Amino acid sequence: MRILIQRVKRASVTINGKIKSKIGTGLLILAGIEDADTPEDAKWLAKKASSLRIFDDENGIMNQSVKDIDGSILIISQFTLHASTKKGNRPSYIKAAKHELAIPIYEAFCHDIEQETSKSVSTGEFGANMQVELINDGPVTIWIDSKNKE
């Protein structure tokens, strides 16, 4: 499982011209699930993401987590995080999990983040065509893959 975390001032997701979710200061997390992923991958990434110290403390040092600042979280499913570009110019998504595997793991990830932060998370809609807007703060963008734990 891969996630791309962006520290944001604000973010929103629009589907069919209507805003589905929006947040203020916090994290926008794009989540990609592959066939080899398990609920344990989701749990590990939820703990890592919610504890990641990428928000400034009173001294302007990145030393606080989203939990510490009581920030918001928007989680968007994104199968293209598993694009393979090794051959040709058209990405292959063969490693991206099919809906029947990906949806339960995505939902587990959202639930695990809620458990870690004691807050509800905002989401997009799995499989929908979404327009995501954000103001990246910093910019701070971090990529984490559960297959690279060590």
State how far the Cα of 54 lies from the Cα of 59, in Å rounded to an integer. 13
Measure the N-to-C terminal CA separation of the chain; round to a whole number of Å: 15
User: Do 112 and 46 touch, CB atoms closer than 8 A?
Assistant: yes
85 catalytically annotated: no
H/E run at residue 48 = helix 39-51
CA–CA dist 129, 95 (Å, integer): 20
Structure tokens at 99: 């809906």
Determine which one of 14, 25, 80, 123 is catalytic.
80
Q: Please state whether the peptide bond connecting residue 139 to the residue before it is cis, i.e. omega within 30 degrees of 0.
A: yes
Half-sphere exposure of 89 (CA within 13 A, CB side): 0
Q: Show which residues are catalytic.
A: 80
